[in-house]
Amino acid sequence: MFNIKVTKTLNSQLTNIDFSNLPFGKTFSDHIFIADFEDGQWTDLRIEPFGPISMHPASSVLHYGQAIFEGMKAYRQNNGELVLFRADEHARRFNESAQRLCMAEVPEKLFIQAVNQLVAIDSGWVPQTEGSSLYIRPFMLATDEFIGVRPSTKYKFIIFTGPVGPYYAKPVTLITSNEYVRAVKGGVGEAKAAGNYAASLLPMKQATEAGYDQVMWLDAKEHKYVQEVGTMNLFFVIGDTVVTPATDGAILKGITRKSFLDMLTAKGYKTEERPVDVQELVDAHKAGQLKEVFGAGTAAVVSHVASVTHKGYLMDLPPVENRLVGNWLKAEINDIRLGLKEDIFGWLSPINQKEVAKSF
């Protein structure tokens, strides 16, 4: 066990929160975890009252963008037990992002202990209502006080959490871009690097101005192969096969994506991970074989796609009620998380509230 110093808030906000109305990403729990990397070590591990952090204006993250993050969730099961979903995978991916951005790595055990302890302290913040959960945001930033381009020697590893309600998003409309790309092989698309999202904002804005919800990204070289959308990986049901673009160095390796592939295979679905040419989607749509398109990610879990527009051709998709695969995945993964279906894949880890309490 790492020794994490805990300072509890004297000013809990918990009773001020309306759990029946939780807009995504705007409500923050009482405590925050912070650790500082200095002289090659993580030091000063602490959980303290949630609040602003102060930074030197020359902090390298503010100038050269060494910043990465994760997004994961804790659930309250129907028996009251709290569980994390695939925390080990998130810890591992965090370090893969750190490697690509030339940042310090966080021992997986520290990452997982810090998440566990923070969620245990703010266990009252994990919503009760079905479809709600506690969103967990670990991130790391470079804090060398130096104006010069080089890997920072100092970092802050921070985790905060916040309750989120069910995601009742309308099916989204997508458009491909022939001008902009999200990520290129050899770049940082596979990392959850903050800058990736900054780069996507202008094309996103143009898409919304043109009346679409999101950009469906195509590969940077040929503008031909589908990558992903927003903060979600994409799935296509073509005939009786569930297809998702193969990760190729430019696509974020989603943990929801990976989980869905395992669930589909176990259920006996035919799945394929391979390059998906957008023209294949157009052809399948013309032949009436494009049955479903959906995004998969931690925040929305499944986000149904209403239509995809590519070079002026509109692929409208069947009504959401008829989407067997996307609807099944969403319900099934929800049941696993709530403990209503057996966790046959071993994806859940319980938060031991008593064990953590002893370490205070």
Ligand X SMILES: *Cc1c(COP(=O)(O)O)cnc(C)c1O
Residues that bind ligand X (CB under 6 A): 71, 192, 228, 231-233, 252, 254-257, 297-298
What are the beta bridge partners of residue 149? none
Q: Quick count: other Cβ atoms within 10 Å of Cβ 247?
A: 18
Distance in angstroms (rounded) separating the CA atoms of residues 354 and 221: 53
Query: In a 10 Å sphere around its CB, with 0-12 CB exposed, 13-18 middle and 19+ buried, how is residue 97 labelled?
Result: buried
- Choice between 17 and 220, CB closer to ligand X: 220
Distance in angstroms (rounded) separating the CA atoms of residues 251 and 272: 16
**Shortest CB 226 distance to ligand X, Å:** 13
- Choice between 214 and 298, CB closer to ligand X: 298
Amino acid at 351: I
- Choice between 333 and 356, CB closer to ligand X: 333
**Shortest CB 191 distance to ligand X, Å:** 9
- Choice between 285 and 304, CB closer to ligand X: 304
- Choice between 132 and 298, CB closer to ligand X: 298
Q: Which of 152, 148, 161 is nearest to 115 (CA)?
A: 161
**Shortest CB 338 distance to ligand X, Å:** 18
Bin 71: left if φ > 0, else alpha if -120 < ψ < 50, else beta. beta
**Shortest CB 58 distance to ligand X, Å:** 28
Q: Which of 17, 103, 7 is nearest to 51 (CA)?
A: 7
**Shortest CB 166 distance to ligand X, Å:** 17
Tokens of 307: 């239509």
**Shortest CB 229 distance to ligand X, Å:** 8
- Choice between 190 and 280, CB closer to ligand X: 190
- Terminal Cα-to-Cα distance of the chain (whole angstroms): 12
- Choice between 27 and 244, CB closer to ligand X: 244
Tokens of 260: 């869905």
Distance in angstroms (rounded) separating the CA atoms of residues 217 and 65: 23
Q: Which stretch of DSSP H or E encloses residue 65? A: none
**Shortest CB 77 distance to ligand X, Å:** 20
